[in-house]
Amino acid sequence: MKEELLHYIWQSKTLLHKTLTTTDGKKIEVIKTGTHNNDSGPDFFNARIVLDGTIWAGNIEMHINSSDWIKHKHQNDKAYNNVILHVVFNNDLELNIPTLELKNILKPELIQTYQSLLNSKQKIPCQTQLRLPEEFIINQFIQRLAIERLEEKCITLEKQLQLYKNSWEKLLYVTMAKYFGMQVNAEPFYLLANYIPDKLFAKHKHNEAQIDSLIFGVSGFLPVISEDNYTKLLNQEFKFLQSKYHLPKIDKSTWKFSKTRPANFPTVRLAQFSSLVFHSVHLFSKLMDAKTIKDVNTMLAVKINPK
């Protein structure tokens, strides 16, 4: 057994159609498996699951044995603080983290097939088992995949809409926030949008400094000490708003700058998101009234004003 098999099974979404529970009996529903990570850190970023009726957003870590978490010293690494589910083949050690054990879920035939392909000496391990299909079949398959992808996105959005009590405004707000973070920072942007209710922005829609203070304060990027007058103002506003609304803060280490172009640095994307929020409160209603694509583009155009 190799950990790569667990990665493949999780990526292929085979488990989405099974009844899953944690080792302590809590029901698991997988909304999004996340993005496979080939670098250091958790194995999958930006996953979303429903655990015992509560939606969780974060990372997924996988091991053959649950005790590997301790062996690899993940408990001392901040990069693993946002792991929401530990997927293991064998739960040989109880840990204080939601754990999914696959030992009694995976069919022995699947493991045997994997080992057979792994040990194959052919250039393409499965080449003796496949025949080249006709072009018509290939085109049909591609079309089906496109439809399935759209349907999958629709199902995900429908589930989120139910969690947000049928609030289309909140669904649009949270979804747009996630895409502002792109793949690398989708998770912290998603957290940000859930930490700051969209209705809160409506209360402060006439004060751009308060909008900026909410976004940069909750994101963890607002420096406590600064000589800049605008930053001082943001600190003052955020201190008041955080106390008034009991707002949490995201750990700054959650945001990623590596493998990101300067134009897509989280600080830049946060400034753009703040500008969009300030100029587009109740955006869903406005988009529904749009008559042309040009109208939509105008609503979504973002300009950052230097403060």
Spell out the domain ranges in the chain.
Answer: 3-128, 131-163, 167-300
Q: What percent of the chain has pLDDT over 90?
A: 62
In 3D space, the residue among 267, 254, 252, 222 whose CA is nearest the CA of residue 240 turns out to be: 222
SS percent in the chain: helix, strand, coil, step 5: 50, 15, 35
- Label residue 122 by pLDDT band (50, 70, 90): confident
Rounded Cα distance between 149 and 146, Å, is 5
pLDDT at residue 64, as a whole number = 95
Exposed (0-12), middle (13-18) or buried (19+): which is 70, by Cβ within 10 Å?
middle
- Label residue 169 by pLDDT band (50, 70, 90): very high
Q: What is the per-residue pLDDT across 47-84, written as a single tens digit (0 to 9) for each?
A: 999 999 999 999 999 999 999 999 999 999 999 999 99
User: Which is more confident, 98 or 104?
Assistant: 98
Contact 65, 87 (CB under 8 A): no
User: Which amino acid would we find at residue 180?
Assistant: F
Q: What is the per-residue pLDDT across 216-234, written as a single tens digit (0 to 9) for each?
A: 999 999 988 888 899 999 9
pTM: 0.57
Rounded Cα distance between 63 and 54, Å, is 24
Question: β-strands 44-51, 27-32: how paired?
Answer: antiparallel
pLDDT above 80 (res 257): yes
Give the largest Cα separation in the chain, rounded: 70
How distant, in Å, are the alpha carbons of 82, 165, 217 from that of 196? 19, 16, 11
Which has the minimum average pLDDT: 25-39, 98-112, 126-140?
126-140
pLDDT at residue 110, as a whole number = 81
What is the average pLDDT across 276-282? 85
φ, ψ (nearest 5 deg) of residue 65? -115, 145
243 SS3 class: helix
What is the average pLDDT across 184-195? 93
**All residues at 6 or more sequence positions from 89 whose CB lies less than 8 Å from its CB, including other chains:** 1, 6, 63, 64, 65, 101, 102, 103, 106
- Label residue 307 by pLDDT band (50, 70, 90): low
